[in-house]
Structure 1
């Protein structure tokens, strides 16, 4: 049963997902999209303030998106997003890290008879429970068929 706009509750928080980060994936992503040396060269990266290879922030965002789709959006009447606010990287993601997600519905509003907009904070944490990334997605959700024609949310 899909998750519709009406099923979302402001303040509701859910935790899900598990993503193990590998050195190979960090390097592969960075070579293609963000080839800064601390993402692609372990030896040089060990001499930086990071003390070793780290994932590109954009890779962290992509891993977050994968878990978000697998653990939430694939079950939802998602209609895409209007944007992202408050994009933040808090600490580096490293090979061997295991990432999980926490989603919190911050606010919601009916936009039309067919859809509503939810502001959802997604926070990615590592295996130590430390926040590594967060964003607020402005996500459009379809409304329940029985709600069509009703402007209340």
Structure 2
């Protein structure tokens, strides 16, 4: 289990593969972001995207899943304080396969038991398109 002290500014990692389905796009959007570009293939085809696209919030949720499965479960991460600079520069489309890369940008003690780690997170497709970028502010257990 990776403690705060084991992390170094500049550390990078890449992991995961998550395949996005049309059914998942419409199901998530139907519950959380019911805009026609996410729920109605005909309306989406007539939009600037030309086809169904995932909600940015769905992209964030899939990114979180990749982070948990690929890194956080086996770490001493305690939870996040928030995210900075959340961006969705390109849409996620059904059939895309997502991967995540991380880089530790900052770290500092938060209190006697925890440290704060700023992690740049980038989610990309199989084509190399960036579909999400953010800086997560995560609390990490100290030894």
TM-score, reference length from structure 1: 0.92
Partner of 1:148: none
Aligned ranges 1:1-153 → 2 under 5 Å: 2-144=1-143
Report how many aligned residue pairs link the two structures.
Answer: 143
Structure 1 unaligned residues grouped into runs of 5+: 145-153
- Once residues 44 and 113 of structure 1 are traced to their aligned partners in structure 2, the CA distance between those partners, rounded to angstroms, is 53
Structure 2 unaligned residues grouped into runs of 5+: none
- Once residues 11 and 130 of structure 1 are traced to their aligned partners in structure 2, the CA distance between those partners, rounded to angstroms, is 22
- Once residues 127 and 32 of structure 2 are traced to their aligned partners in structure 1, the CA distance between those partners, rounded to angstroms, is 28
1:43 deviates by 1.1
- Once residues 62 and 117 of structure 2 are traced to their aligned partners in structure 1, the CA distance between those partners, rounded to angstroms, is 21
Q: Which structure: larger Rg? A: 1
SS of 2:65 mapped into structure 1: helix
The Cα offsets for residues 47-90 of structure 1, whole Å up to 9 and x where unpaired, read as: 11100000000000000000011111101101101111010001
1:112 deviates by 1.8
RMSD over aligned CA atoms reads: 0.6
